[in-house]
Amino acid sequence: MSIRLKLLRKKLGITLELLADKSGLTKSYLSKVERGLNTPSIAAALKLARALNVNVEELFDGEHDGQARYSLVRRGERQALVGGGEGPGYAVLTSQVGQRSLLPFLIQPPTTFSDPTFKEHEGEEFLFVHEGQVEVDFMSERVLLEAGDALHFNAQTPHRLRSVGERQAQLLVVVQGGEG
């Protein structure tokens, strides 16, 4: 069995450095696992699953005979991957991440464009502002979104976002990644 770590990590938009920090494993070791040069122990696989907020079975290739027809994540079961709930952060809103082409997140963006890099990835992205205001920067154009506004765009367009105004923005982001 080969491990699906790189696929899951990329779908979640997590860097190798962040995964190393969250899992307590070294970046070098994780890189070897992703390239198939190392197979993680059960303990390492459990750390990775916890860091990625997925079931450990999702880390491994193979047929998923028992794949559920749907994924239900109740409010109290949601686990934030980044952030503590008050400031910037996000939570994955589905399970079986490796088997889905749509990946929904609940995001609380930072109040500044602290990261100078723009994100771009395969597929499409859909944003719905639940609370507050969000500014989306497309390099050549900035779009201000208010609560209730929705934006759908090609995710290969370089983009970044931030919360504006007095209230921390909260938005639903759905990323469609195309082929895994």
pLDDT at 63: 47
What's the pLDDT at 100? 65
Residues contacting 10, CB < 8 A, separation 6+? 121
Give the pLDDT score at 69. 67
How far is 169 from 11, CA to CA, in rounded Å?
23
Identify the pLDDT of residue 121.
77
Tokens of 24: 């307590």
Distance between CA atoms of 101 and 11, rounded to whole angstroms?
9
Phi, psi dihedral angles at 125 (to 5 degrees): -135, 140
Return the beta strands (E) in 41-101 as ranges: 80-82, 89-92
Q: Which two tokens stand for residue 46?
A: 């459990």
Rg (CA), the chain: 17
**Could you read off the pLDDT tens digit of each residue along the chain, which spans 180 residues?**
346 888 888 888 888 998 999 899 999 999 988 888 887 877 788 888 888 877 777 776 554 445 566 677 777 776 655 555 566 777 777 766 666 677 888 888 889 887 778 888 778 899 999 999 999 999 999 999 999 999 999 988 999 999 999 999 999 998 886 544
Do 97 and 52 meet the contact criterion of CB atoms below 8 Å apart? yes
Output the pLDDT for position 67.
Answer: 54
**Around Cβ 122, how many Cβ atoms within 10 Å?**
14
Tell me the whole-structure pTM to 2 decimals: 0.62
Measured distance CA(10)–CA(119) in Å, rounded: 12
